[in-house]
Structure 1
Amino acid sequence: MFSKMYSFVLIVMCGCFFGDVFGNTFFIDTNGNINKYRTIVKNNFLTDADWILESHCFSSPEIYLKCGPLKLDFVIKKKMNAEIFLNYRKSQIYITNKPKIIIQFIITFEEESIILNYMNGNSYYSYSAQGINNLQSFIQQIDENIHFKVVKIYEFNLPINRPLDNDTVYDTEIISQLRKIESLSLWKYAKEELIELYYPINSHKTLENMINNSTTYQLTVNKALKKAITAMNRRTFKYALLLVTYIYEALYINCLPSEFWEQINDVFNILSEALDKLKSSTYLSYSSNQVIFASINFYKMNTLHCMIKTIANFFLTPEEMGIYNLEETCSSKSSDSNTHILPEEVLNKVFTGFPKLHETDDVTYNFQAIPYEPDGIKEKLLIIFRLIATEYEYIIEVDL
């Protein structure tokens, strides 16, 4: 126990000597270390929380977290991962010009409860939503300008099959956002997508794992949710690229029945609406309307050509964009590529394994291999229509 607290003090002292300033959100890991994360709060003053090393002539140096007039000590006696937000709602200029009234308390994370020491009195709070809420309310009663919020606490990495709004999350606004994410029909299919993370080591984790164990990866829950939204936007653009590539191919060999256009319009609207609700680009809505309402196939294909080149930028590096010439081939099919615009290497890179099989299907979609015969292209287009309609059946706005 003593070694844990001693290592914590050493980490804090190193932060002081090297001038580290802790942002308004900070993480506690299972070893008692604290790492900073600077948070932007809209329409609010921020007073940064600094670790202060205060020397005394006849006693040991005093180390504490200072945020405005607040002096806060942490004592960590529990193995846990935690995300905590701290802010003093007045500007530093305001604080400097006011009489210096010091507010001092100690928060101890015990195994069974959290202890708040204020004015030599202890208050005990459980690790439950009610206990955390009572702790936060009491601190705000001390000074209404203190914004102390426990966002998330968990002891060990959570299993990936737990609901997002599980009992490790305490912030009510975050809980509401987690529930909205989980309610999206798209979440069921996107949650297993891999995201590259850089802490504690470079690795790839599923969206679900990343959100549930965000503190382990030094991400605020809010930032993890934003990464999830970005990944779902990316998935939507991948469906858009798949759709326009197959429509282009069908038009090129003149095998697109007129009755398909109503379904094409529907799925374009579905994807465009999803991107709008996920706070993404309006590009797809604008360009797809040009395709739908063009009266001549030549103009439809020109717009589709531009869309393919534009959307491909989401999935290719600048170097790859320079290597691959996304232009029409001389013939409908060639030995180098089975489509007119996307080379075979690009088809394999973007569409191999995408999407994972839905539970209603038992044969891989193999979209990277565009069929040579008209019936095969039309059959795959119908599958694309169905997959999009299923995954995007229910999409709502998620404000982050």
Structure 2
Amino acid sequence: MNNPLQDPGFLRNPYPVFAALRSTSPVQELPGGGGRSSYLVTGHAEARAAFTDPRLSKDTAAFFAGKDTGRNLHPAVSRSMLATDPPRHTRLRSLVTKAFTPGAVARLRPYIARVTDELLDAWVPGEPTDAIAGLAVPLPVTVICQLLGVPATDRAAVRTWSNELFAAGRPERIDAASHAVAGYLAELVEAKRRTPGDSLLDDLIRARDGGDRLSEDELVSLAVLLLVAGHETTTNLIGNGLLALLRTPDSLHRLRDEPDLVDAAVEELLRFDSPVSTATFRFATEDMTLGGTGIPAGSPVLIAPGAANRDPARFPAPDRLDLDRDTRGHLAFGHGIHHCLGAPLARAEAAIAFRRVATRFPRLRLASPGAEPQWRHTRLLRGLEALPVLP
């Protein structure tokens, strides 16, 4: 049995593969390495249930204990908050939640708008520009680095390391990037101890040094997670969303003429081409049944938000972009206790970016409408390498 997720065409367009799998069963057994199967969840109801099922653990340290994986991931990456269960997950999340509340994000909106406008000032009407390099990457990178107190001179390196962490099929590059970004943040923590500031990272250092149940390893791990996850999803949301809008010009024109539609547009764009194709690792802690499929204890379970958000049982005509759609219940940010912590920030950045682009560049179009976009080589995320446009 071949694994359809390994097909080269999957990275270009995973949705036909997801639809074909889901039409057979909402939970599919896939061949894995070492003779161990994994299970892919493509149905919306089943994915929503899986996100909250306590029998599915995210404790990767427990799963890989005693196994020779041949990998050299830095523990700050392999044992991040994303790879924990309660009560440890609850404790770690509580230390950073306040930085991403709607109120905290609202206070950031003027800064986000200013950064967006500064980036768009470089777009020259009629001259080709890459919307990924010119907006989708630098906007969220700048915002999360500002929030964490990462110096501007280091932000290009941060983006490079982050991109390498998701290089599908290239474990040596992923491992090297994990050590690079963890080492950098450990050094930044020490620098901030010597010269304290008022960033989120400074707050976490004070929590650690004040004995607030945060170890040094957990401090660095949280910093890595916030830095990487704090921009990757938003970069893909902005890039994928712009491509979808440019391919359906009526939607882009509506966004220009009805700016108050932007929040609804963000939700539909999240659903339509989800920035996270397959959620991070889980495994069954006991024999279980999901979507009519038996899953043996110890089996990896992959939940696919990108597939669930195109399930016609939940979203009629799911392959059509519809800014008037009822998008409630989409799973682009996950569900349950691991629901994306930075979702309010991602939504704010995307809404500001889409509104500014639509109003400032009413003639925006694809530079090469017939060309196949170049997608990032990663199965976890769904995002573009580049998006050439004509402002």
TM-score, normalised to structure 2, is 0.25
Compare the two structures and name the one with the higher strand fraction. Answer: 1
- Relative to the length of structure 1, the TM-score reads 0.25
Higher helix share: 2
